Amino acid sequence: MCLCFSENDYLDEKLSKKIASDFFDYYLFYSLNNVKYLTEIDNPVKANDGLIFYSGSSYMYSMFSLLDFSGYGVLHTGVAGNEVLYSSLKFDYHEKPSKRKVERIFYSSKLKNKIDNILEELVQKYETMEELAFYKKCVNGVYNAFRNIEHFTEFSSPTLYAPTIEYIMKIDPKLKYNAYLYRKWVLKKIPNINYPWEHIAGAKISSSSFEIFLRKSLKKLATFLLGYRTSKNPWDKWLKRNPILLETLDKYFFDNINLLNGNLKEDCIKL
């Protein structure tokens, strides 16, 4: 059975439905539009000991809590395939790490002055920004978020296999940039699978570099005009359009903020 969760009518939903239909698979879609999953705070946070960005893991926990996995085996996720294969690269060459470049992978930079010493250590520790982004964004973020699945079943992905990761990291960045090699590989193995793809702004897998650039530019313009980034889980959009959600989160925050003290409390209030 194929599973998908996203905002209604987002490309993830449309494309996953078509793929499931084309390959004759069972399909289950979980809509995120009612945003109720964001008001159920405690369980998703406890599931990962509060070590992952809440808005990015709560929808997964909410969906899986409704399912019965007793009749299924391992859940194949494809977790972090994009981070390992292409999206950790900003350009078609390796960049040497710097504090300014590390800020690109921040969720927020409001407290960056508190981690200056850590940033310096990161810059010295890793040879390339691709390597740094993989360990700090992919391992600490994506891999860690998917640990929530272990409360329900086991999960797997080719990009959880260390030798595969080591091999991919050695590939020339020119071949990985914009998922060039990945797209060639997909089309070679499954020639009739030339679907639109969210990572390249809805362009088809066989699209030229110019078309991908054009679509990405238009997507950035749309983000600027809308005031929020389009995604399967548009957090900023939910907050703008759902005052009850904002009230619920504010109430939870102020009801519990006094459980903290000192610098941690001050930092949370500032954020």
With respect to residue 130, please indicate whether it lies within any of the assigned structural domains.
yes
With respect to residue 56, please indicate whether it lies within any of the assigned structural domains.
no
pLDDT in tens, 151-203: 999 888 888 888 888 888 888 999 888 888 888 888 888 877 777 777 666 67
Number of domains the chain contains: 1
pTM confidence score: 0.78
Mean pLDDT by 10 residues, the chain (271 residues): 87 87 88 85 86 80 90 82 74 89 82 85 89 83 81 86 86 87 83 74 70 72 60 75 87 93 90 81
With respect to residue 112, please indicate whether it lies within any of the assigned structural domains.
yes
Q: What integer pLDDT is reported at residue 114 of this predicted model?
A: 85
With respect to residue 86, please indicate whether it lies within any of the assigned structural domains.
yes
With respect to residue 44, please indicate whether it lies within any of the assigned structural domains.
no
With respect to residue 219, please indicate whether it lies within any of the assigned structural domains.
no
pLDDT in tens, 57-75: 788 888 999 999 988 888 8
Q: What integer pLDDT is reported at residue 255 of this predicted model?
A: 95
With respect to residue 116, please indicate whether it lies within any of the assigned structural domains.
yes
Whole-Å CA distances, 268 to 107, 219, 265, 271? 14, 32, 5, 5
Q: What integer pLDDT is reported at residue 189 of this predicted model?
A: 84
Residue 150 φ/ψ, nearest 5 degrees: -65, -10
Structural domain of 106:
81-151+160-193
Residue 82 φ/ψ, nearest 5 degrees: -70, -40
